[in-house]
Structure 1
Amino acid sequence: MGKNIVLTGSGGFVGSRFVRLNTNKYQIKTIPWQQLTESSLDLSDVETIVHLAALNHRMGKVPAQDYMKSNFELTKIFANHAKSNGVEHFIYLSTVKVYGEKNIDGRAFTEADTCNPVDAYGKSKLDAENALRSIESDSFKVSIIRCPLVYGHGVKGNMKRLIKLARSPFPLGFKGISNKRTMVFVDNLIALIDKIVEHRESGVFLAADDHSISTAEAIHMLRTAMNKKSNLFEAPGFVVNMIGMLAPGLRTRLFGSLIFDNTVTKKQLNFQNPYSSQEGFGSMILGEIN
């Protein structure tokens, strides 16, 4: 049995998958939300903390103070307690939303780019990153993983809606849409976390599949995994413009681009994703079917 690891967020999408894949690899102790700020929390003999627990981004109105309390304040208290109890390595799952909502001049964001979050969620995660970096030392290493959309079996949110769209029997008007979005298959993300645990490497890292994909490519891979034809057509420009006027957020998610380049992460850790996007999409749909 390997390292002693404390995992938060074990009931979430990524956390539950981490436990399933690593039960025989690490000695994993899970801690629920309500115990993270307890001063009596026993972290003796813990080498590494993987902090996944968070109030994740939600469509609609979530008060900014809720994000700050859950993502910044809780993380700061927990990390300080961990450091004072001799924990050597703190791995924090952050978000690419710390960069903002769109690329500058079409250039992919990298690990070194300036952060400019535009919403309360992104700001709360960046504040947590900064708090962690401020207490980092030779005896308390901090690793920050910035994540784009994570997909896999059991996913919710935008990808769940895209799967529902792909399941429909109707032709879809995404042909010719040349947008690009960076995502990460959950098993690739967990492989990256494992690599960081192994190397005990500090710094900022980006999780990403090897190739960014368009909405049309995503629908094609989903329908292929469902043994269906892509059945895509090119929507007239006025339809796309109408979507933009009536639902600008939807237009951005369906037709906008947001890309990231994690070449530095892969080189620094000598890391390669174990799965392609096509394999990830296939696994996701297989899980949905079964």
Structure 2
Amino acid sequence: MKLVCVSEFGPPEALRIVDAPEPVPAAGQALVAIETIGLGYMDTAARRGESYLVSSPGFVPGYEVAGTVAAIGNGVDASWLGRRVFAILRQGGGCAERLTVPANELIPLPDDISCENAVAAGLNALVAQVGVARLPITDTDQVLVRGAGGGIGLMCVQYAALRGGTVVATSSSRERGERLLALGASSIWNRLDSDLDGPAAFDIIIDTIIGQDLPAFFDRLGDNAHYLFCGGVGGLPPADFGMKLIEHFHKSPTVHAFSLNSATLDEVAREAAILFEHIAAGRISSVVDSVMPMADIVEAHRKLDAGQAFGKIILRPDGGA
């Protein structure tokens, strides 16, 4: 079979398509014939050597897949054979034609959810779903989503709007802004502008960026407001960023931080079932940027590095589109 290997940390050209023996499921494992692979920030960060998930090159990227169980190891219930499944791969390995996965990490796909829809929402939607659920959003709240055009951000826009919040979404272009409005945002702030339009203070700020500009957004917190970190594509904040938050101590802010890594396998499975219900009912939309053959993974990473993707880039090992 074919798989993708990161030969060295660096640019997209470090990615290589290589031949490898087809894996055989050990006890407790299932062999998944992969149909779709979700590609996102975790993949590009790992490729550059900027992820805690990997310490050295020579690994196979890919952190979410969907496909069909083709074989099972000893001790795995035979009912898994032939089932369509979704899996989050905390150790990677998903950029391949086939992959062995512990059976207890498999999430069954309902008949009305395609493999494409599963990975298009996938990790990003689950982070948004669980993270936003921790916020007391009401229909009177003004909500700012920072990094709204990113994979997690556009899902946060949808979940905040679903909860009834009036959502201001940051964007880098008019086209992206129009698409965010269609997903539930009430207004758009073009982050390339000098000033942030909208309320002087927000009840809720959802941040998928962090980065050096973080302290300025603490200034936008209203009384008893909530600030959620659920991504960090902009890198680390200034070393003294906490001082700005202390300056606003009198406003009684609440700060949340959420990573899906803190959720148990059972929790992820329960949340995924809820997510699939939302998608089937049309309450949440899977957003697909493009579908590409796995052989074009270098081009896909270039697109992500350039910030050109809106929604999930989906790779297909079979080359279909």
**TM-score band (shorter)?**
0.3 to 0.5
TM value normalised by structure 1: 0.33
Structure 2 length normalisation: TM-score? 0.30
